[in-house]
Structure 1
């Protein structure tokens, strides 16, 4: 989903992950991508 924001950075640990991007105007696309992954059970 981070790619949806135009970024490639991220990190985390087994119980927590985070990522970021430089284009905040694409935040809605990133949220939609995460929602889709959750619906698919991934």
Structure 2
């Protein structure tokens, strides 16, 4: 996540964590960089489809 978006409220670690939960996993990291993994890779499309909503939520804070 770029510094300007971090200033606006985005946090890569939070996005990674919430996205990975859909796949039965976990994640985290710093505001600008994160990583995640899951036990149900077949749910990756479902997990990624939720990312735009997480970004909107982060920017609305």
Q: TM-score, normalised by structure 2?
A: 0.54
What is the root-mean-square deviation in Å for CA atoms of aligned residues? 1.4
Aligned residues: 40
If asked which structure has higher relative contact order (CA below 8 Å, sep 6+), I would say 1
Q: TM-score, normalised by structure 1?
A: 0.69
Structure number with larger C-alpha Rg: 2
Instruction: Give structure 2 stretches of 5+ with no counterpart.
Output: 1-18
Task: Looking at secondary structure, tell me which structure has more helix per residue.
Answer: 2
Instruction: Give structure 1 stretches of 5+ with no counterpart.
Output: none
Task: Looking at secondary structure, tell me which structure has more strand per residue.
Answer: 1
Which structure 1 residue ranges, 4+ long, deviate > 6 Å from structure 2? none
